[in-house]
């Protein structure tokens, strides 16, 4: 599968995730999709809670869902976010679970798509090696 096809499949899946978001407080729906080496895509959406600290981001839902299904290898990710890019917590989780050179496409509300690597999203990430 070529890079353009991967990108378009992931962005479409991430849009589906955003449509499933539970965001009654922020009205900030986010969707994410992560691709496995065999082309399987796992979707995530943000899920809010009245106790804000218990809310979870789409990127983490996608990655944790994949891990819960027994997957550990990821090849690419897409995120649909009204503005900006993944939060710091999601960047940290990406740096823990994904290869540093893995592409992450981020599409904002105006349709702009930017491409990053995991390492670009979180330079000098805190890694397991830092635990000593």
**Which residues are marked as active site?**
59
For 72-76, the CB contacts below 8 A with 24+ separation are 72/97, 73/36, 73/37, 74/34, 74/35, 74/36, 74/98, 74/99, 74/102, 75/6, 75/35, 75/36, 75/37, 75/102, 76/6, 76/7, 76/10, 76/34, 76/35, 76/102, 76/103, 76/104, 76/105
For 83, other C-beta atoms within 10 Å of its C-beta total 9
For 9, other C-beta atoms within 10 Å of its C-beta total 17
């Amino acid at each position: 599968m070529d890079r353009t096809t991967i990108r378009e499949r992931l962005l479409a899946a991430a849009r589906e995730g955003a449509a499933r978001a539970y965001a009654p407080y922020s009205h900030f729906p986010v969707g994410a999709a992560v691709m496995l080496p065999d082309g399987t895509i796992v979707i995530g959406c943000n899920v809010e809670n009245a106790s804000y600290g218990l809310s979870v981001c789409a990127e983490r839902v996608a990655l944790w869902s994949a891990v819960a299904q027994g997957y550990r290898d990821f090849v690419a990710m897409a995120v649909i976010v009204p503005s900006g890019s993944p939060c710091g917590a999601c960047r940290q989780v990406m740096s823990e679970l994904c290869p540093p050179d893995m592409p992450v496409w981020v599409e904002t509300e105006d349709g702009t798509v930017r491409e990053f690597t995991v390492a670009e999203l979180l330079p000098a990430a805190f890694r397991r090696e830092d635990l000593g």
